């Protein structure tokens, strides 16, 4: 029997017996009471996952129980049985926070379907709560999110080296979070109250990079109308981060090596040596040993920079972190787009977990931002994902004998048709309720039903 606990409240013994017998067949734990006055004591003592209550009972009615359950524990979902399925009653029940209502008499399938939908939503909400908690746990390392073994090793290394002054070289593919790791080291170091100065070694040309790094005196070159301190000076007492150091010009590499040895810098066009004290963090996606062999990287500089090495794992090697990252990004972009997206459907999450992510976390972030912008429901579904992602779906979901686009279109059509067929059935043909459950408007439902030739309730 599962650990899922359901409390059933009804003043009719036959109803209690039939509901509990049906739900126990599905391996749910059932506790029952025909005394509404005792129901709240049972909620406090038994801590059920779901409450089923009749609306009309002597003494305390279903609406009063619903309100009090929500005060005790808002996470407990409540389904209301009613023999009075008027529009006003339904609206009042839903306004008070019920997950759904079921009209008496109801079929076994209808009850099971409603209960399973409620429990599935509770599971998703609990997962999201747990994931948000895990995000807060790891957030102390400056936005680096992960619970995988490989990321725990990164966190452990950061904690060990952050308070030292050792230079650190961070290896990793593009998009794996090398700069976030560097910032995290700085924020957990003894230099955290001083400057963190990042430099993109790819973005700046040789002449511009030299001027930016070393600064220049007035008149040092055409356009130098005033003296300007370089980034090395600005990083004094703080942390200097060289992003993609492997692509730095070899002439600048030699000058950087001299500064690291002597801890002094001379501005372009100047003669005065300026003392500097900074820690150097650098990153690369290249094999620097090969670059040394090729003559494109100074070996002595490599040994200066590579006192300690941290390797950032690619996303394909830490797929257990995907759900954590996805929920984090959904939360961010849902707020930015002024939506109330609750998460990602199981089908869509399965697709995201199977994809290989050549662009790593940066690509995942882009995909989630796009899906969040496009979705018309409360959850991101496969319909909201790009074509190349759907290619990772299990073969049971699509036909491999068809060209990609046709296979994908057929798969999506099949998913859409089944989703809305089930939705209308669960909503007993009530389009307004169906629209509310799906998180879309009535017009969209009518359009999709017409598209798939589904019967539109009169």
pLDDT, tens only, 224-262: 778 888 889 989 999 999 999 999 988 889 989 999 999
Q: Does the pLDDT of residue 102 top 90, yes or no?
A: no
Q: Does the pLDDT of residue 128 top 60, yes or no?
A: no
Tell me if 142 is assigned to some domain.
no
Q: What is d(CA 160, CA 165) in angstroms, rounded to the nearest whole number? A: 11
Q: Does the pLDDT of residue 305 top 90, yes or no?
A: yes
Residue 262 and residue 326 in one domain? no
Tell me if 10 is assigned to some domain.
yes
Q: What is d(CA 447, CA 380) in angstroms, rounded to the nearest whole number? A: 20
Q: Does the pLDDT of residue 392 top 70, yes or no?
A: no
Residue 74 and residue 163 in one domain? no
- Number of helices (H) and strands (E), helices first, in the chain? 19, 16
**Predicted pLDDT at 447:** 82
- Site of tokens 């739900």: 23
Range of the domain at 305: 149-312
| Least trusted range by pLDDT, from 232-241, 340-349, 420-429 | 420-429
Share of the chain above pLDDT 70, in %: 89
CATH of the domain at 13: 3.40.50.2300
Which is it for strands 77-82 and 100-103: parallel, antiparallel or unpaired? parallel
Q: What is d(CA 193, CA 230) in angstroms, rounded to the nearest whole number? A: 20
Residue 209 and residue 337 in one domain? no
Work out the average pLDDT over 94-111: 86
Confidence band of 138 (pLDDT split at 50, 70, 90): very low
Q: Does the pLDDT of residue 293 top 90, yes or no?
A: yes
CATH of the domain at 299: 3.40.50.300
- Neighbour-count burial for 388-420, b at 16+ CB within 10 Å, e otherwise: ebbeebeeeebeeeeeeeebbeebbeebbbebb
Work out the average pLDDT over 147-165: 91
Residue 296 and residue 159 in one domain? yes
pTM, to two decimals: 0.58
Q: What is d(CA 1, CA 21) in angstroms, rounded to the nearest whole number? A: 13
**Predicted pLDDT at 105:** 85
**Predicted pLDDT at 154:** 92
Share of the chain above pLDDT 90, in %: 39
Residue 153 and residue 96 in one domain? no
Tell me if 456 is assigned to some domain.
no
Residue 195 and residue 111 in one domain? no
Distances (CA, A) of 60 to 20, 79, 246, 347: 21, 16, 73, 41
Q: What is d(CA 324, CA 320) in angstroms, rounded to the nearest whole number? A: 8
Q: What is d(CA 418, CA 396) in angstroms, rounded to the nearest whole number? A: 15
* Cβ atoms of 194 and 238 closer than 8 Å: yes
**Predicted pLDDT at 162:** 92
Q: Does the pLDDT of residue 277 top 50, yes or no?
A: yes
Q: What is d(CA 170, CA 161) in angstroms, rounded to the nearest whole number? A: 12
Residue 306 and residue 443 in one domain? no
Q: Which helix (H) or strand (E) holds 197?
A: strand 196-200
**Predicted pLDDT at 39:** 87
Residue 193 and residue 45 in one domain? no
Tell me if 143 is assigned to some domain.
no
Residue 368 and residue 426 in one domain? yes
**Predicted pLDDT at 137:** 44
Distances (CA, A) of 410 to 293, 403, 415: 52, 11, 9
**Predicted pLDDT at 285:** 94
Q: Looking at per-residue confidence, does 120 or 316 come out higher?
A: 316
Residue 92 and residue 185 in one domain? no
Residue 240 and residue 353 in one domain? no
**Predicted pLDDT at 50:** 94
Total domains, the chain: 3
Domain boundary among 135, 163, 197: 135
Length of the chain: 458
Domain boundary among 277, 312, 347: 312
**Predicted pLDDT at 309:** 96
Q: Looking at per-residue confidence, does 278 or 407 come out higher?
A: 278
Q: Which residues contact 50 (CB under 8 A, 6 or more apart)?
A: 4, 5, 6, 7, 76, 77, 78, 79, 115, 118, 119, 122
CATH of the domain at 385: 1.10.8.60
Confidence band of 281 (pLDDT split at 50, 70, 90): very high
**Predicted pLDDT at 140:** 43
| Least trusted range by pLDDT, from 4-13, 92-101, 290-299 | 92-101
Q: What is the mean pLDDT of the chain?
A: 85
Tell me if 195 is assigned to some domain.
yes
Domain boundary among 279, 312, 345: 312
Work out the average pLDDT over 126-143: 52
Residue 35 and residue 168 in one domain? no
**Predicted pLDDT at 1:** 56
Tell me if 140 is assigned to some domain.
no
């Amino acid at each position: 029997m599962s650990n899922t606990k359901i409390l059933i409240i009804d003043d009719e013994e036959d109803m209690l017996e039939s509901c509990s017998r049906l739900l126990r067949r599905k391996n749910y734990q059932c506790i029952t009471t025909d005394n509404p006055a005792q129901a709240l004591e049972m909620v406090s003592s038994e801590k059920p996952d779901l409450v089923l209550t009749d609306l009309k009972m002597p003494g305390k009615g279903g609406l009063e129980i619903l309100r009090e359950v929500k005060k005790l524990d808002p996470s407990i979902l409540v389904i209301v049985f009613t023999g009075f399925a008027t529009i006003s009653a339904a609206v009042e029940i839903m306004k008070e926070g019920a997950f759904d209502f079921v009209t008496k008499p109801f079929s076994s399938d209808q009850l099971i379907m409603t209960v399973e939908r409620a429990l599935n939503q509770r599971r998703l909400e609990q997962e999201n709560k747990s994931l948000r908690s895990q995000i807060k746990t790891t957030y102390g390392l400056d936005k680096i999110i992960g619970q995988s073994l490989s990321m725990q090793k990164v966190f452990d290394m950061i904690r060990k080296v952050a308070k030292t002054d050792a230079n650190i070289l961070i290896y990793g593919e593009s998009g794996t979070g090398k700069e976030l790791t560097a910032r995290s080291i700085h924020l957990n170091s003894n230099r955290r109250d001083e400057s963190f100065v990042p430099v993109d070694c790819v973005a700046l040309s040789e002449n511009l990079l030299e001027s930016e790094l070393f600064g220049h005196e007035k008149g040092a070159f055409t356009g130098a109308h005033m003296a300007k301190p370089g980034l090395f000076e600005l990083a004094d007492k703080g942390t200097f981060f060289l992003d993609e150091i492997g692509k730095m010009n070899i002439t600048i590499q030699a000058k950087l090596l001299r500064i690291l040895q002597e801890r002094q810098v001379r501005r372009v066009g100047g003669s005065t040596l300026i003392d500097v004290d900074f820690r150097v963090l650098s990153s690369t996606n290249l094999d620097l040993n090969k670059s040394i062999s090729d003559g494109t990287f100074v070996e002595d500089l490599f040994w200066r920079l590579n006192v300690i090495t941290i390797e950032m794992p690619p996303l394909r090697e830490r797929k257990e972190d995907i759900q954590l990252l996805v929920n984090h990004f959904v939360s961010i972009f849902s707020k930015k787009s002024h939506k109330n997206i609750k998460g990602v459907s199981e089908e869509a999450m399965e697709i995201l977990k199977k994809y290989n992510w050549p662009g790593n976390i940066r690509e995942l972030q882009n995909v989630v931002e796009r899906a969040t912008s496009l979705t018309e429901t409360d959850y991101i579904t496969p319909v909201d994902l790009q074509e190349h992602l759907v290619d990772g779906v299990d073969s049971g979901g699509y036909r491999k004998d068809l060209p990609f686009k046709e296979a994908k279109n057929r798969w999506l059509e099949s998913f859409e048709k089944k989703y809305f067929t089930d939705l209308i059935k669960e909503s007993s043909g009530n389009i307004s309720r169906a629209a509310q459950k799906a998180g879309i408007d009535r017009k969209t439902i009518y359009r999709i039903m017409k598209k798939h030739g589904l019967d539109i309730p009169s």
